[in-house]
A and B are shown apart, each in its own frame.
Chain A
Amino acid sequence: MTDAQNGAPHGPAPDEPKYWLDHKANVDKLLRGFYVVCAILFVIDIFVPKHGLLAIEHTFGFYAIYGFVGCSAVILGAKLLRILVMRSEGYYDR
């Protein structure tokens, strides 16, 4: 969405004090921390005693991989769905 379309100034006023999250470096720091946590979660899978009924649950990293692939599939699938179902905002008002 561009500023022109919204008709109002978009983004913070220039004289406003910056917040911690406004700095891209800090966001990157947060994300790197998140990646590390994910990596740790992936590795400790070896040490957790599995008591699921199904063989698939005992496969190394099943939940992590399924979560990643599943969520990506939802997002990419939705992107395709947009081609099919997206209309302009005033579609039903016409």
Chain B
Amino acid sequence: MTGEFPPGLILVVGGLLVPLLRGYLRAAFMLALPVIAFFYMIGLPYGELGKIQFLQLTLTATRVDSLSLMFGYVFLLATLIGTIYALHLKDTLQHVATLIYAGGSLCAVFAGDLVSFFIWWEVIAVASVFLIWPVRTERAWRAGQRYLIVQMAAGVILLAGVMLHYRATGSIAFDLLGLDTTAKALILFALGVKAAFPLLHNWLEDSYPEATVTGTVLLSSFTTKVAIYALARGYAGTDILVPIGTVMTAFPIFYAVIENDLRRVLSYSMINQLGFMVVGIGIGTNLALNGAVAHAFADIIFKGLLFMSMGAVLFRVGTAKGSELGGLYKSMPWTTSFCMVGAASISALPLFSAFVTKSMIMSEAMDQGHFWVWLILLFASAGVVEHAGIKIPYFAFFAHDSGKRCKEAPLNMLTAMAISAALCIGIGSFPSIFYTLLPYNATYEPYTLNHVVTQTQLLFFAALAVAVLIRTGIYPPELRSVNLDADWFYRRLGYRTLMGLDAVASWAWAQVVDIAGAGARFFNARLHNHHGPDGVFGRWWPTGTMAFWTTVMLGAYLILSYL
């Protein structure tokens, strides 16, 4: 019986039951679900469990190993924190979507074969769009549609890859795949869409900031991390991931500086953090993989925390735009403090979480001889200080006082943020406990004098640069604006092209109608000439006309009979 179903199924089924409950009972039920799933999960034995025969395929519902467990822990943690954060919500749809989405993600990381993984991948895509649409605006509706189209397209590519792979090898096993066939390249491409590879990334910064206050927090935790899990499982040590990840760390930080919507700044920041993980997976040594997995874990917590703090601002003030905010520390001191913990964590300040996770990847990049990669990662780390470490808390809570006054975030939101903040500090300050959970054998000591001092120097001098540029007025101000990104190609170029084609088609059709109309009018006019009131045939009685035609026929007959 044990392991017949994956732990995520508890959340999915529980989510379907949520509409039956009301009030405190519902809240208690939703909070209990991740706890029950946790105890079920840690009770599972290692190995492949829950085999299901489906057509000619043997599906593995539950594969338990240290990699899937690590993602299991953090997904359940994120579900619990996200549920607490959303407890004030009356919207049943969002609660159901949350649990199915989180449960689907959990099922995906426990899926033992590619087909099961694909099925849960689709569940995730559909469930997650119901965290965008409940904003119930035209804008969110469109953003959700674009999001769903991209997710579905990625799903189709994944399915194609899996089918080709099955036809070539007869196997649907989801182990180390590598990149030696077209099928495997297709699977990597599909995962690349979800992991926001450069030029495939635009769905992320397009949709996440348009989701609901609580939805963005959940979206940031699962979709991309399922992709990171799948990359670690199937493509560890795939060389091409190193340059891809490096580009991901570097280009979004420029966008993050000039973006006005602070939730969109965090979305760009997210691509930057995913880049570090992708580099770690590409390097593929035990330490680098541990670094990637550990950083995914830490990122879910600190990025969630930052999204929660910006969500609280959006919830209370009604906007998360840097140009409209400022001085909110006076109204929301707790949210401000928690946000700053998240900012310190993502910046990898000593004693905060990313300091003990990101450094594994950095250190291994250097040890494996990727000098330029290391140099760019270091540059990107300095960039993180600017947009996530300083910009987010500074423009929201300090900077120029906007005069906006509001209530502190609701208690449930503060509780969720407090738990995340405690985890950020806990992981960063006591890494040895956290390291025991990591899936691969490797040793790493983050707290050496050299590491602490050099990292602090890097961060403080990056911050110094920001301070100097703000003070001298060189720093670009927050402006109400839209910055063009790769989504321009389908939102504007593609749209305009379609509209253009539509115009050409309409014009061509109009020409066809015109010409046909002219022909018809000409024919009509001739008809009128002969058969109209003044026409030759119009002047006679119908009997006369008949006599005329009979004469013509008889004449013709006479001529023909002589031939």
A89-B469 contact in complex given A48-B449, A70-B462, C-beta closer than 8 Å: no
- Cα separation A49 to B451 with both chains bound (whole Å): 10
Q: What does the 1/0 interface line of A18-51 toward B look like (CB < 8 Å)?
A: 0101100000000100110110011011001111
**How far in angstroms is the closest Cβ of chain B from A20?**
11
A12 touching B449 by the CB < 8 A rule? Answer: no
| Additional 17 contacts, C-beta under 8 A, given A74-B253, A75-B465 | A11-B400, A42-B461, A45-B457, A52-B450, A54-B371, A66-B461, A67-B459, A68-B462, A70-B379, A75-B466, A78-B255, A78-B258, A81-B483, A86-B479, A87-B483, A89-B482, A90-B482
Q: Please choose the segment from B226-234, B382-390, B429-437, B535-543 that sits at the chain A interface, where 4 or more of its residues have CB less than 8 A away.
A: B382-390
Q: Please choose the segment from B35-43, B302-310, B322-330, B418-426 that sits at the chain A interface, where 4 or more of its residues have CB less than 8 A away.
A: B322-330
- Find residues 71-94 in chain A having any chain B CB closer than 8 Å to their own CB: 71-79, 81-82, 84-93
**How far in angstroms is the closest Cβ of chain B from A59?**
11
A81 touching B386 by the CB < 8 A rule? Answer: no
Closest 8 CB pairs of A and B: A78-B257, A67-B461, A71-B462, A70-B382, A71-B465, A67-B458, A68-B461, A63-B457
- CB nearest to A93 among chain B residues: B139
Q: What does the 1/0 interface line of B86-108 toward A look like (CB < 8 Å)?
A: 00000000000000000000000
- Cα separation A88 to B330 with both chains bound (whole Å): 31
Chain A residue numbers with a CB within 8 Å of B544 are none
Chain A residue numbers with a CB within 8 Å of B449 are 48-49
A74 touching B461 by the CB < 8 A rule? Answer: no
A92 touching B492 by the CB < 8 A rule? Answer: yes
A63-B450 contact in complex given A52-B366, A75-B465, C-beta closer than 8 Å: no
> Would you call the interface of chain A mostly helix, strand, loop, or mixed?
helix
**How far in angstroms is the closest Cβ of chain B from A52?**
7
A88 touching B481 by the CB < 8 A rule? Answer: yes
Chain B residue numbers with a CB within 8 Å of A6 are 324
- A-side residues, CB < 8 A to B, are 1, 5-6, 8-13, 19, 21-22, 31, 34-35, 37-38, 41-42, 44-45, 48-54, 57, 61-79, 81-82, 84-93
6 contacts between A and B (CB under 8 A): A11-B402, A64-B460, A67-B461, A68-B462, A74-B253, A82-B258
Interface size class of B (residues with CB under 8 A): 35 or more
A81-B371 contact in complex given A71-B382, A88-B482, C-beta closer than 8 Å: no
Chain B residue numbers with a CB within 8 Å of A50 are 450
> Would you call the interface of chain B mostly helix, strand, loop, or mixed?
helix
**How far in angstroms is the closest Cβ of chain A from B425?**
21
Chain B residue numbers with a CB within 8 Å of A75 are 257, 386, 465-466, 469, 474-476
B383 touching A71 by the CB < 8 A rule? Answer: yes
A13 touching B403 by the CB < 8 A rule? Answer: yes
**How far in angstroms is the closest Cβ of chain A from B135?**
16
Chain B residue numbers with a CB within 8 Å of A38 are 460-461, 464
Chain A residue numbers with a CB within 8 Å of B402 are 10-11
**How far in angstroms is the closest Cβ of chain A from B316?**
16
- Count chain A CB atoms within 10 A of each CB in B254, B471, B485 and give the residue with the most: B254
Judge whether B56 is part of the interface by a CB distance below 8 angstroms: no
Judge whether B448 is part of the interface by a CB distance below 8 angstroms: yes
Judge whether B491 is part of the interface by a CB distance below 8 angstroms: yes
**How far in angstroms is the closest Cβ of chain B from A15?**
12
Instruction: Kindly count the residue-residue contacts between A and B in the assembled complex, taking CB atoms under 8 Å apart.
Output: 175
A64 touching B458 by the CB < 8 A rule? Answer: yes
Chain B residue numbers with a CB within 8 Å of A69 are 465
Judge whether B454 is part of the interface by a CB distance below 8 angstroms: yes
**How far in angstroms is the closest Cβ of chain A from B354?**
15
- CB nearest to A57 among chain B residues: B454
Chain A residue numbers with a CB within 8 Å of B475 are 75
- Cα separation A82 to B456 with both chains bound (whole Å): 30
- Cα separation A38 to B256 with both chains bound (whole Å): 25
- Cα separation A1 to B386 with both chains bound (whole Å): 21
A35 touching B479 by the CB < 8 A rule? Answer: no
- Cα separation A86 to B454 with both chains bound (whole Å): 36
Judge whether B554 is part of the interface by a CB distance below 8 angstroms: no
Chain A residue numbers with a CB within 8 Å of B458 are 63-64, 66-67
**How far in angstroms is the closest Cβ of chain A from B49?**
44
**How far in angstroms is the closest Cβ of chain B from A11?**
5
- CB nearest to A3 among chain B residues: B403
- CB nearest to A81 among chain B residues: B254
- CB nearest to B483 among chain A residues: A85
- Cα separation A42 to B461 with both chains bound (whole Å): 9
Chain A residue numbers with a CB within 8 Å of B398 are 21
B481 touching A89 by the CB < 8 A rule? Answer: yes
Chain B residue numbers with a CB within 8 Å of A79 are 257-258, 474, 476
Chain A residue numbers with a CB within 8 Å of B479 are 1, 86
**How far in angstroms is the closest Cβ of chain A from B446?**
13
Chain B residue numbers with a CB within 8 Å of A22 are 401
- Find residues 293-342 in chain B having any chain A CB closer than 8 Å to their own CB: 323-324, 327, 329-330
Judge whether B239 is part of the interface by a CB distance below 8 angstroms: no
**How far in angstroms is the closest Cβ of chain A from B275?**
14
Chain A residue numbers with a CB within 8 Å of B327 are 12
A64 touching B457 by the CB < 8 A rule? Answer: yes
Judge whether B70 is part of the interface by a CB distance below 8 angstroms: no
- Find residues 397-449 in chain B having any chain A CB closer than 8 Å to their own CB: 398, 400-403, 448-449
